[in-house]
């Protein structure tokens, strides 16, 4: 199945602690059905000091399930994603406006 969300997409969180916040997808995990959104779902990780890094309490963005994310259309509103074939190529389409993403 084709990916409805991809790296670099602007998304909004639909549920959870960061509900309503917007961000950009920095990493996709299709096998786990999760994505990491820049600056959202931040958790504090305690890391041991090593030669390369300082260590201590480091904030880190944790994965969010794809079902809790919605793509933002050109108007800045959450939308679902559909697919359409144009000129022999499959493209993603915003359901609210019908525009190609």
Q: Is 12 exposed, middle or buried (0-12, 13-18, 19+ CB in 10 A)?
A: buried
Give the mean pLDDT of 8-16.
95
Q: In the numeric block, which tokens belong to residue 10?
A: 């602007």
User: What's the mean pLDDT when you consider all of the chain?
Assistant: 93
Structure confidence by residue, pLDDT tens digits, 15-26 = 999 999 999 999
> In this model, does residue 33 exceed pLDDT 60?
yes
Single pTM value for the model: 0.84
Give the mean pLDDT of 88-99.
93
Helix, strand or coil, per DSSP, at residue 88 = coil
Structure confidence by residue, pLDDT tens digits, 51-72 = 998 999 999 999 999 999 999 9
Predicted pLDDT of residue 3: 86
- Which long-range contacts does 24-32 make (Cβ < 8 Å, 24+ apart)? 25/69, 26/61, 28/3, 29/63, 30/3, 32/63
Q: In the numeric block, which tokens belong to residue 24?
A: 């950009």
Query: Are the CB atoms for 77 and 70 separated by under 8 Å?
Result: no
Domains and CATH numbers, the chain: 10-73 (2.30.30.30)
Give the distance, in angstroms, between the CA of residue 18 and the centroid of all CA atoms in the same chain: 13
> In this model, does residue 1 exceed pLDDT 70?
no
């Amino acid at each position: 199945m084709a990916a409805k969300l991809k790296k670099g997409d602007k998304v909004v969180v639909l549920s959870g602690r960061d509900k309503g916040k917007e961000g950009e997808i920095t990493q996709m995990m299709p096998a786990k059905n999760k994505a990491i959104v820049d600056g959202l779902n931040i958790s504090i990780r305690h890391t041991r000091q090593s030669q390369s890094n300082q260590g201590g309490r480091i904030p880190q963005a944790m994965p969010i399930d794809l079902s809790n994310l919605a793509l933002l259309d050109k108007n800045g509103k959450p939308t679902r994603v559909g697919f359409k074939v144009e000129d022999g190529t499959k493209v993603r389409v915003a359901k609210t406006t019908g525009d190609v993403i």
